[in-house]
Amino acid sequence: MRVRFGAATDIGRARGRNEDSYLVHEPLFAVADGMGGHRGGDVASSLAVAALRRAAESGNASWSLLIEEFQEANREVFERGNDQAELHGMGTTLTAVFLMDAEARIAHVGDSRAYLLRDGSLHLLTEDHTLVERMVQAGKLTRTEARHHPQRSILTRALGVEEDLPVDEVTLPLLAGDRLLLCTDGLTSMIDEDAIRDLLLGEPNSQAACEGLIDAANKAGGDDNITVVLLDVEEVAQAPTGQADTTTLTGAASEDRPNVFAKPQGKGGAAAEKPARRGPIRWRRPVAWGGAVLLVLLAGFFGVRTYAGHQWYVGDADGQVAIYNGIPSEIVGFKLSHVEEVTDLQTVQAERLQPWKGLESGITASSFQDAQAIVDQIRLDIGALGSS
Ligand code: CA
């Protein structure tokens, strides 16, 4: 296979630094979009891309090695985040293409995207791991509403935030003339798919097309960092060998059906949304949960990505004190939390005690362990009341 490629990244017009990273190292190409306070976002996306670069530079890069490197990158980012207080909670998206024989193999986590331009039509190859995408699939939002939703940056899956990482995998037989685009959400949140398609159709040069996409996103506001990698397939040596059922293109991508595959070949399924056991210290317990909701709303407003599975609180579940993962709120009817553990303590008993009066509305914890410590304290206090 012979490919030409271009790549470009830009800080955009609103951010103080660029937390995106990318890799072009034939046969491996990737984009990553970091999240986290301080330098967390930079560190997470750089670590993830560095792991893939190792695989590419080893000279024996293979598809299985790439998936292994996703897992290795996940461990590295996760461990670094747990070891360094200022990096707690960092994570990153990672979307990679590995070219092999006459195929593109795509591995994907988060809300960066891979697109295929073929015969004048743009096809989305990946599925966003975001709360709004889940709402779209449940019929609660249209795709157009999702694009402008203030909470569109809340990820349901990211690399580096939990020990197990389900990775979506897609295989696509390539044809000469195909253009594969990898991009972070700084592009897709600024310009729509018709504009991306038109720009790609209008600029045959790979590098110039990348720069044109970045200019367009900046002209539309440049609210976020923008990164694009474009592969132009010039020649494919052999006939495609991929399985037809995963690669059938269903005509032009539309607002209603942007994903040409019925389902990405994820390994995780439901496990994908499993909450992280260990959360970062985002805020201290005395901060009311209102602060947590505010953080999510602000994060949405500023387009900063957050990870709902990282928040914990102690609250009430049908009269029992319980530990929740998430935040005690909902967006358009979608609960942002679920019960992780129900205790044998009664809420009504705990609420008789001054410090635990707010239990019903939720007491924020910095981690699952912190939530358990709060429960232990409630237990002690109830015990002390009983014996006094
Ligand atoms: Ca971004």
Residue carrying the six token digits 């609103």: 14
Instruction: Give the global pTM.
Output: 0.71
CA–centroid distance, 53 to ligand 1, in Å, is: 21
CA–centroid distance, 42 to ligand 1, in Å, is: 11
Q: At what angle do helices 206-219 and 193-202 cross, to 10 degrees?
A: 140
Average of per-residue pLDDT values in the chain: 82
CA–centroid distance, 353 to ligand 1, in Å, is: 44
Residue carrying the six token digits 């990553």: 32
CA–centroid distance, 285 to ligand 1, in Å, is: 29
CA–centroid distance, 38 to ligand 1, in Å, is: 15
pLDDT at 235 over 60: yes
Of the chain, the percentage scoring pLDDT greater than 90 comes to 48
**CA Rg value for the chain:** 22
Residue carrying the six token digits 């809300």: 111
Taking the domains of the chain in order of start, what are their residue ranges?
2-248, 312-387
Encoded tokens for 287: 């901060």
pLDDT tens, 238-248? 654 544 333 33
pLDDT tens, 350-385? 888 887 887 888 888 877 888 898 899 899 888 887
The reported pLDDT for the residue numbered 305 is 64
Q: Where are the beta strands (DSSP E) in 222-319?
A: 226-235, 306-307, 312-317
CA–centroid distance, 218 to ligand 1, in Å, is: 13
Q: Is 253 in contact with 54 (CB distance < 8 Å)?
A: no
CA–centroid distance, 20 to ligand 1, in Å, is: 7
What does CATH list as the number for 2-248? 3.60.40.10
pLDDT tens, 194-220? 999 999 999 999 999 999 999 999 999
pLDDT tens, 12-65? 999 999 999 999 999 999 999 998 877 889 999 999 999 999 988 887 778 888
CA–centroid distance, 73 to ligand 1, in Å, is: 19
